[in-house]
Chains A and B, each alone.
Chain A
Amino acid sequence: SQTIHQWPATLVQPVGSPLSLECTVEGTSNPNLYWYRQAAGRGLQLLFYSIGIDQISSEVPQNLSASRPQDRQFILSSKKLLLSDSGFYLCAWSAAGMSRGYTFGSGTRLTVV
C-alpha cells in the first residue's frame, strides 16, 4: 500500500534561518506531489506541485522553493525564513491519471520566532 511520510512534525526556527522540510512517498511510482500551507484557522494554499523529477511549478511567488531530487521525494526549502512563513505545511500526493486519491502527509507545524 502507498504511504506518505513528512517530517519533522514540529519546528521552531529563528527569523533568517534556513528551512528544509522533506516528504517521501512509498509504494507508488511517478506520483504527482504537492506542498500546501495552512495559516492558523484558514484553508490550504497550494505552494508548489510537481509532475516529475526536477519538474516543479510554483503557484505563489514567495520566500520558499521546492525541489524533487528523486521520483518519490519532495523538499520544501527556504534560505532565510520570515515571520510570515509560520504555518502548517502539508505534503500530498496523487497518482497520475487518477481522478481522486489526493493523500496528505501528517503535516509540519512551523513557527518562526
Chain B
Amino acid sequence: AQKITQTQPGMFVQEKEAVTLDCTYDTSDQSYGLFWYKQPSSGEMIFLIYQGSYDEQNATEGRYSLNFQKARKSANLVISASQLGDSAMYFCAMREGSSGSARQLTFGSGTQLTVLP
C-alpha cells in the first residue's frame, strides 16, 4: 500500500487565488512527521512546511498552511494568494517513528501546480 498518496497529478489556479493540494498518508506509528516540499523546474527541493503528529495546531509558514486532519490521515497544503512563482511540482512526504533515529522521508508522487496570470 502507498504510504503517501497525492491524487492530483496536476492543478491549475488563478493568480491571487488560494489552492489546496491534497495528501493522505498511511502509518501505524503514533509518532510521525509530515512535510511539504516544492520542486521548481531547476530540480532543487525546497522545504515549505512541517507538521508533527503530536502538534495540536495546524502548521503555518507565511502563505503556506497545512490542514492536518489526523483522524482522516490527511495533510493538505493550502497556498494562499497564489503567485506565478508558485508554479512547480509539490511533494508531500512523511517521516515515520521518532525523530531520534535516521528516519528517511517517504514521498508521494507529486502534484504539478500551474498558476495562471
Using a CB–CB cutoff of 8 Å, the interface residues on chain A facing chain B are 32, 34, 42-46, 49-51, 57, 59, 88, 90, 92, 94, 96-104, 106-107, 109
Contacts and interface: CB of A to CB of B under 8 A. Distances in A.
Contacts of A101: 47
B107 A98 contact: no
Contact of B110 (A43, A94, A99, A104): A43
A92 B45 CA distance: 10
Interface size class of B (residues with CB under 8 A): 20 to 34
B50 A100 contact: yes
A32 B50 CA distance: 18
B44 A106 contact: yes
B87 to A, nearest CB: 16
Interface in B31-56: 33, 35, 37, 42-45, 47, 50, 52
Given A43-B107, A46-B105, A109 B43 contact: yes
A51 B106 CA distance: 17
Contact of B102 (A44, A49, A88, A109): A49
Contacts of B93: 44
A51 B52 CA distance: 22
User: For A42, A51, A90, A104, which residue has the most chain B Cβ atoms within 10 angstroms?
Assistant: A104
Contacts of A46: 104-106
Contacts of B106: 46
Nearest to B39: A38
B25 to A, nearest CB: 13
Contacts of A96: 100, 102
